[in-house]
Amino acid sequence: MDFVLIDGKQVAGSVRERLKEEIAELKSRGHVPGLAVVLVGDDPASQVYVGSKVKACAELGIYSQKWELPAETSQEELVKLIHQLNADDRIHGILVQSPPPRHIDEEAVILNIDPRKDVDGFHPVNVAKLVLEDAAGFVPCTPLGCMELLKAYGVETAGKHAVVIGRSMIVGKPMAHLLMAKNANATVTVAHSRTKNLPELCRSADIIVAAVGRPEMVTADYVKEGAVVLDVGINRIEDASRPRGYRIVGDVAFDAVKDKCSYITPVPGGVGPMTIAMLMANTVKACRQLVG
């Protein structure tokens, strides 16, 4: 069947245009949204992600601080910086790039971030607000971006069966809560790598969200005709035919699946661009809520 390719870059661009108007309104009242991004260590992928976030801030007119700390930074030093940022009126959002070095207790770090500045949506206070459907809380950026894509393309979720493959706190669990919330009204099944008869289960889904971190795991036998497929995966696989020796693929075998779908996201260019766009949106939201 004919499918619609969901263009994450286009939707992210629309989100950014909307944010520009909100930022201009805040600036007219003397408030500039501010984001602090903290990177511990020199992981190359994390450096790229942090650079993308700082660049997005500059393009939108959001004030940003980038803290690049050496890998040997102690837990105490990192927490001290977070408390400093909690108290900084110029900063409305705080993000500590994941994953940190092994000696850093990431959960303890998250607990020290002011929930009102937790634009990643990982603090227990914000997790609770998500479950309670309290709109004042912050939702992790990737699942929030997925919901924005469904909305942008007019995908009906009410009464539909959604299967979320993956149960992480970053994507799977918050995605399930967003889909089952009263403004979405989907019936949700959360699956994972140990789910029995996973292809059969997925074939019952009207919407599949693949966020399991396994390259091209979701094949044609997982998908029924007319399903909507959102591919959250970003995986690097070896490919000698490419100049860099690898290529980026999702958790969905795109070429095998696309002709069975009504809507599908590509990788790259699908869910990925939405993550940073929604981080910017959460930062603007944090500013608005903090300044009143």
Catalytic positions: 53, 97, 120
Q: Report phi then psi at 53, rounded to 5.
A: -70, -40
Q: Give the C-alpha separation, 174 to 241, whole Å.
A: 37
Residue 245, Ramachandran bin (φ over 0: left; ψ between -120 and 50: alpha; else beta): left
Q: What is the amino acid identity at position 36?
A: A
Question: For 171-190, b where at least 16 C-beta lie within 10 A, e where not — what string?
Answer: bbbbbbbbbbbeebebebbb
C-alpha 76 chain-centroid distance:
28
Residue 63 structure tokens: 């004030």
Residue type, 58: A
Round to whole Å and give the CA distance between 163 and 147: 14
CB-based burial label for 98 (10 Å; 0-12, 13-18, 19+):
middle
Are the C-beta atoms of residues 191 and 197 closer than 8 Å to each other?
Answer: no
Strand pairing class (187-191; 161-165): parallel
Calpha distance 149→2 (Å, rounded): 19
Q: Which helix (H) or strand (E) holds 20?
A: helix 8-28
